[in-house]
């Protein structure tokens, strides 16, 4: 039964707007001309059904807007362009071009500033982190001066690589056996026959490898030829195709490198900029001489001398009236060409003194120089410089004639007048100086020259008159009298040998501009300044003038006596001290200095008379009593010395007088009298620690039988004088000598508790532990002591040598930082260099030590022992004489030897010999 076909409802109906057939199932729609219809005018309404297809957007446009919180800004909202999905039209393109041109123009305006800032930052960066080439440019430049012998004597540089890098495993090439090659050949062959074994066994049994020989022979000759060809090819590549030698020339390589070194080590960009700037200056203003000079010097600096010469010659053409440019041209040119240039310069500038002087300097022969200078003087007769240069080339007679003419042409030149006066006779010189004063009434050098002239001819009376007249004349001509200038002139006069002129200047000028209350202090400072400059006559004149105005000032007499002692003679010192004791009779030290000077000169009766006169002026003076005792005891007059001490104890009883009395009896080995006198002294002066020390030492001198008595004496003295450190140290040393280390430690602990921050006690504790063998405990004690006394030089000196040898240097550096000016630290450093056999360094540090402190005898003894081993006889004598002159009184070893009663008659020279013998060598 036939079924009637049902039609769809939309069949026959018009298509909806924008419908494309087959689009739902994936078909692609298309539009034909019949679908579009006829052409329309611009104003017609378009049919939206046939709208043109949209342009395909980029993948970035298809992405949705990022609405993440990280893309949101409170001020601008979400990131991205608002109009990115809109069409890009022609007016948008024009706007973008306008904005781009504006940005480009603004960028050009900022370009110069940006480049300048970049250049500054780059230069700053290069200064902080220079290139390796810049760091070693000066060193590479110096390689040109290295000779072949020096180059060959350079040691080889050590190889810092490890063993595996120094000895790499060589690659081993094992030749491939023929069996492998044969097997490879056989594997690629195609067989055309069946193996007999396969025919026999049917292919079920496989023969063993290596049992059959391939049927094809291997051509080993061709393989060898190919290998040789490859080797030849590599050798050809590494060789020169023309000469057959290697490309790198080992002999000429360093020479080529030296020729490539630039003469200028700076930045070439700076040179280019400077050239450009100077070129602009020259073109803008060609008559500006500094531009040409700077350009020439720039080329000279970078090594282009010929370019510099060409530039400077062009400069002379543009600036013929500039003497600087002519002088620069003469400097750059060779000698022959320079003469011609100077000739042209003189034609353009005949009045230029510098050019004439340059012309004279370019001449080699004296005769030619004279001719040039005389022609110059014809052109410029009033030039002092030309006259001086011309006079220097003449002999004495011709120079006198020329100077006579010179002072006529240049009457205001002081130097020409003075030079003429030096060449004239006495009478003519006086006339010349008188004429000079008429022409130049305001110059002091003419008056000083006149005073020197009178002194040179023995007319010393006129010297003072001339200086007085000079001051009056200059003051009348409204010239300021500068005291410092006149003092300097006095020093110059002394150096020239005019002593009377120097003294006259000092006497007349020393008081100008100084208040009365500042006179003494100022004059002493002036004298010390003259001493520093080596002007001893000036200093002596100052002291003499000062003593006239302040005759009763003790400090002035002492300073003058010290000056005469160091820089004068014994007669001058005694004359000064004789005047001093008359002016200051109450100054005991002046009497003692005068007596000592006469005693050292061997005049013992005069020394006695001096002390007697001093005693009359200062009755019952302790110092004079003790000086008289020392004088008698040094001259073996012991009876007189004892008598004087007895009188002193009756008339001027002091603890020091008793101590000297006990000391004298002790040295004379009269121990009973010494003990009796000690008991008497201790009743009156029990708080004087030296008396207790002497009592203990006298008892300890008896040996083991006197240890207890000595201990009791020391303990009693400590009760009366608990702050006396030497008394504590004597008690501790007594316990150590008696073998009582425990008691010594206990006493040291007590001493440190009662007397804190005393480095000597800590040093004694450290040495006690070291002698007992407790090195670790000694280091602990040393650390505690340095913590309590961080600036104690004796502890730092001990710490340096308690360290192991590798750590001593660093310890010495720490010690110098903490105690830079401590003599014990400096002596320890000197010994450290001595132990390392650095002789010159050790001598330098020993000199530094004794300059810093001259009163420590141990430093002198160590230096003297060093010179005994490593120095010459002259050096040994110098150290010994300096030590005797300074008379040191302190030092651990020095005091132990000097105060020993066995050595009581030894002098300073003998003591330093004993100290040097007993001082151990630094280990």
- pLDDT tens-digit series, residues 575-621: 999 999 988 888 888 898 888 888 888 888 888 888 888 888 888 78
Average the pLDDT over 324-346 and give the result: 90
The answer on pLDDT for 815 being more than 90 is yes
Task: Report the range of poorest mean pLDDT among 220-234, 298-312, 631-645.
Answer: 220-234
The reported pLDDT for the residue numbered 160 is: 58
- DSSP state letter for 365: S
The answer on pLDDT for 570 being more than 70 is yes
The answer on pLDDT for 422 being more than 90 is no
- pLDDT tens-digit series, residues 25-58: 666 555 555 555 555 444 444 444 444 444 444 4
- CA separation for the pair 849, 837 (Å, rounded): 18
- CA separation for the pair 46, 147 (Å, rounded): 98
- DSSP state letter for 246: B
The answer on pLDDT for 2 being more than 70 is no
The reported pLDDT for the residue numbered 70 is: 62
Instruction: Give the confidence band of 717 by pLDDT, cuts at 50, 70, 90.
Output: very high
The reported pLDDT for the residue numbered 913 is: 93
Q: Give how far Cα 516 sits from Cα of 405, 480, 512, 529, Å.
A: 50, 21, 11, 20
Task: Report the range of poorest mean pLDDT among 59-73, 197-211, 294-308.
Answer: 197-211
The answer on pLDDT for 797 being more than 90 is yes
Are 271 and 295 in contact, with CB atoms under 8 Å apart? no
Residue 161 token pair: 């690589």
- HEC profile for 636-660? CCHHHHHHHHHHHHHHCCCHHHHHH
- Say how many C-beta atoms besides its own lie within 10 A of residue 310's C-beta: 14
The reported pLDDT for the residue numbered 302 is: 87
- DSSP state letter for 73: E
- pLDDT tens-digit series, residues 430-486: 888 888 888 888 888 889 888 888 888 888 888 888 888 888 888 888 888 888 888
Site of tokens 């539009």:
31
The reported pLDDT for the residue numbered 257 is: 47
The reported pLDDT for the residue numbered 166 is: 61
The dihedrals phi and psi of 636, each to the nearest 5 degrees, come to: 65, 25
The answer on pLDDT for 271 being more than 90 is no
Are 421 and 449 in contact, with CB atoms under 8 Å apart? yes
Site of tokens 């990280």:
70
The answer on pLDDT for 859 being more than 80 is yes
In our burial notation (b when 16+ CB lie closer than 10 A, e otherwise), range 340-376 reads ebbeebbeebeebbebbbbbbebbeeeeebbebbeeb
Q: Which domains does the chain have, with CATH numbers?
A: 266-388 (1.25.40.10)
Average the pLDDT over 259-274 and give the result: 71
Please list the alpha-helical segments (H only) found in 85-177. Answer: 90-128, 132-135, 137-142, 148-152, 163-166
- CA separation for the pair 158, 101 (Å, rounded): 63
Average the pLDDT over 632-639 and give the result: 86
Instruction: Give the confidence band of 4 by pLDDT, cuts at 50, 70, 90.
Output: low
Q: Give how far Cα 220 sits from Cα of 212, 213, 216, 590, Å.
A: 20, 16, 12, 118
Please list the alpha-helical segments (H only) found in 147-217. Answer: 148-152, 163-166, 178-188, 196-201
3-class state of residue 243 by DSSP:
coil
The answer on pLDDT for 118 being more than 90 is no
Residue 354 token pair: 């510098």
The answer on pLDDT for 214 being more than 60 is no
Q: Compute the chain's Rg from CA coordinates.
A: 53
Mean pLDDT of all residues belonging to the chain: 82
The answer on pLDDT for 552 being more than 80 is yes
Task: Report the range of poorest mean pLDDT among 244-258, 501-515, 539-553, 906-920.
Answer: 244-258
Are 621 and 614 in contact, with CB atoms under 8 Å apart? yes
The closest alpha carbon to 834, from 402, 553, 826, belongs to 826
pLDDT exceeding 90 applies to what percent of the chain?
Answer: 26
Residue 47 token pair: 């049919």
pLDDT exceeding 70 applies to what percent of the chain?
Answer: 81
The reported pLDDT for the residue numbered 213 is: 45
- pLDDT tens-digit series, residues 381-404: 888 888 888 888 888 888 888 888
The reported pLDDT for the residue numbered 770 is: 92
Are 828 and 796 in contact, with CB atoms under 8 Å apart? yes
- CA separation for the pair 285, 619 (Å, rounded): 94
The answer on pLDDT for 18 being more than 90 is no
The reported pLDDT for the residue numbered 54 is: 45
3-class state of residue 77 by DSSP:
strand
């Amino acid at each position: 039964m036939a079924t009637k076909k049902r039609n769809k409802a939309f069949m026959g109906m018009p298509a909806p707007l924008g419908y494309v057939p087959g689009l739902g199932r994936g078909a692609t729609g298309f539009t034909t001309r019949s679908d579009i219809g006829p052409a329309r005018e611009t104003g017609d309404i378009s049919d939206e059904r046939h709208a043109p297809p949209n342009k395909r957007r980029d993948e970035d446009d298809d992405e949705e807007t990022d609405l993440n919180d990280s893309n949101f800004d409170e001020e601008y909202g979400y990131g991205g362009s608002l109009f990115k999905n809109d069409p890009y039209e022609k007016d948008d393109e024009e706007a973008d071009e306008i904005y781009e041109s504006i940005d480009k123009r603004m960028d050009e305006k900022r370009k110069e500033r940006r480049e300048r800032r970049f250049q500054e930052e780059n230069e700053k960066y290069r200064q902080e982190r220079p290139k390796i080439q810049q760091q070693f440019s000066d060193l590479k430049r110096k390689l040109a001066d290295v000779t072949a012998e020096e180059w060959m004597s350079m040691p080889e540089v050590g190889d810092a690589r490890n063993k595996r890098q120094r000895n790499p495993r060589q690659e081993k090439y094992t030749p491939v056996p023929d069996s492998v090659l044969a097997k490879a050949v056989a594997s690629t062959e195609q067989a055309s026959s069946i193996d007999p074994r396969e025919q026999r066994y049917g292919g079920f049994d496989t023969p063993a490898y290596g049992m059959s020989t391939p049927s094809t022979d291997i051509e080993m000759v061709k393989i060898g030829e190919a290998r040789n060809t490859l080797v030849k090819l590599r050798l050809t590549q590494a060789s020169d195709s023309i000469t057959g030698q290697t490309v790198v020339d080992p002999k000429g390589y360093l020479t080529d490198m030296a020729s490539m070194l630039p003469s200028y080590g700076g930045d070439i960009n700076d040179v280019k900029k400077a050239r450009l700037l100077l070129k602009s200056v020259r073109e803008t203003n060609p008559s500006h001489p500094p531009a040409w000079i700077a350009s020439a010097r720039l080329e000279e600096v970078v090594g282009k001398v010929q370019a510099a010469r060409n530039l400077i010659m062009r400069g002379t053409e543009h600036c013929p009236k500039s003497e600087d440019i002519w002088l620069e041209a003469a400097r750059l040119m060779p000698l022959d060409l320079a003469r011609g240039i100077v000739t042209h310069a003189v034609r353009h500038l005949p009045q230029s003194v510098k050019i004439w002087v340059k012309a004279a300097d370019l001449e080699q022969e004296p005769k030619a120089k004279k001719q040039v200078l005389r022609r110059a003087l014809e052109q410029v007769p009033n030039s002092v410089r030309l006259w001086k240069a011309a006079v220097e080339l003449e002999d004495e007679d011709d120079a006198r004639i020329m100077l006579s003419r010179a002072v006529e042409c240049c009457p205001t030149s002081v130097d020409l007048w003075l030079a003429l006066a030096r060449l004239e006779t006495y009478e003519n010189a006086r006339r010349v100086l008188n004429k000079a004063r008429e022409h130049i009434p305001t110059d002091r050098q003419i008056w000083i020259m006149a005073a020197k002239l009178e002194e040179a001819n023995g007319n010393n009376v006129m010297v003072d008159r001339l200086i007085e007249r000079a001051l009056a004349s200059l003051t009348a001509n409204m010239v300021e009298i500068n005291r410092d200038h006149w003092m300097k002139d006095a020093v110059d006069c002394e150096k020239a040998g005019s002593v009377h002129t120097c003294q006259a200047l000092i006497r007349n000028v020393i008081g100008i501009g100084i208040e009365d209350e500042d006179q003494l202090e100022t004059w002493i400072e002036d004298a010390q300044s003259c001493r520093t400059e080596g002007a001893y006559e000036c200093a002596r004149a100052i002291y003499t003038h000062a003593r006239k105005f302040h005759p009763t000032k003790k400090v002035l007499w002492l300073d003058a006596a010290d000056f005469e002692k160091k820089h004068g003679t014994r007669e001058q010192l005694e004359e000064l001290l004789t005047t001093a004791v008359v002016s200051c009779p109450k100054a005991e030290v002046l009497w003692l200095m005068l007596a000592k000077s006469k005693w050292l000169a061997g005049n013992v009766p005069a020394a006695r008379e001096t002390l007697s006169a001093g005693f009359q002026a200062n009755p019952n003076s302790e110092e004079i009593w003790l000086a008289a005792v020392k004088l008698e005891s040094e001259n073996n007059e012991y009876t007189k010395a004892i008598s004087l001490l007895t009188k002193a104890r009756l008339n001027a009883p002091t603890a020091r007088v008793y101590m000297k009395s006990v000391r004298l009896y002790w040295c004379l080995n009269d121990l009973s009298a010494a003990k009796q006198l000690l008991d008497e002294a201790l009743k009156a002066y029990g708080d004087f620690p030296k008396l207790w020390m002497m009592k203990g030492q006298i008892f300890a001198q008896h040996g083991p039988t006197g240890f207890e008595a000595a201990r009791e004496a020391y303990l009693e003295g400590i009760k009366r004088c608990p702050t006396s450190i030497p008394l504590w140290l004597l008690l501790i040393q007594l316990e150590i000598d008696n073998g009582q280390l425990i008691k010594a430690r206990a006493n040291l602990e007590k001493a440190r508790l009662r007397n804190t921050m005393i480095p000597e006690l800590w040093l004694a504790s450290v040495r006690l532990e070291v002698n007992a063998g407790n090195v670790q405990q000694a280091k602990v004690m040393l650390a505690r002591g340095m913590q309590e006394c961080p600036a104690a030089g004796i502890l730092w000196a001990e710490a340096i040598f308690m360290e192991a040898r590798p750590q001593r240097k660093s310890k010495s550096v720490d010690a110098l930082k903490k105690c830079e000016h401590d003599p014990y630290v400096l002596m320890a450093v000197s010994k450290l260099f001595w132990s390392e056999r650095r002789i010159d360094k050790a001598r330098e540090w020993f000199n530094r030590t004794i300059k810093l402190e001259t009163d420590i005898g141990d430093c002198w003894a160590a230096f003297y022992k060093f010179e005994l081993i490593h120095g010459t006889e002259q050096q040994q004598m110098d150290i010994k004489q300096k030590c005797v002159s300074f008379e040191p009184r302190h030092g651990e070893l020095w005091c132990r030897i000097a105060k020993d009663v066995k050595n009581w008659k030894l002098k300073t020279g003998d003591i330093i010999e004993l100290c040097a013998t007993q001082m151990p060598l630094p280990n």
